[in-house]
Amino acid sequence: MSLYAFEVTDIRGNTGTLEPWKGQVLLIVNTATGCGFARQFGGLESLYQKYRDHGFAVLGFPCRQFMRQEFSERSRIEQACRRDHGVTFPLFSVINVNGPGAHPLFRHLKREARGFLGTRSIKWNFTKFLVDRDGRVVRRFAPATTPETMEPHIRRLLGV
């Protein structure tokens, strides 16, 4: 199945696919506004602003699986991201990233790019998957990896 065919629901409850981002370099992230790594929102937003005109997007997927560090209500998540962290990149509704209820998109991402020592499971919030313009998952970054550290990889895929 193509990455772009996965059904997703945005933070406002609208359902669609990832087709609007076809041909772009994507950084897909499981987020949580109450996580210590939430400070990365600023760096993710900076990357988005810097490279969006070159065909780059950050897609944020809130997740409550790790110590319930995310609100359950979409409106509270959006408010925290937009107001408290200055996020303008696309946000989606709360999903699971592990277990039998894992969102199919994240099952695909984990299958294509394994984690530390070849593990598939996501260990914490802010695990990041870098996708090239053809929809191939080219790299997985650990939660502690800062957005600034990923920039050279993004630039290479964008050709800038």
**Residue 112, token pair as written in the block:** 């294509």
For 58, 67, 85, 131, the CA distances from 77, given in Å and listed in that order, are 16, 16, 11, 25
Catalytic residue from among 11, 35, 58, 63 = 35
Residue 123's nearest CA partner among 138, 93, 145, 92 is: 145
Alpha carbon distances (Å) from 116 to 25, 81, 130, 150: 23, 28, 16, 17
Based on the residue annotation, tell me whether 81 is a catalytic residue of this protein: no
CB 125 within 8 A of CB 37: yes
Active site residues: 35
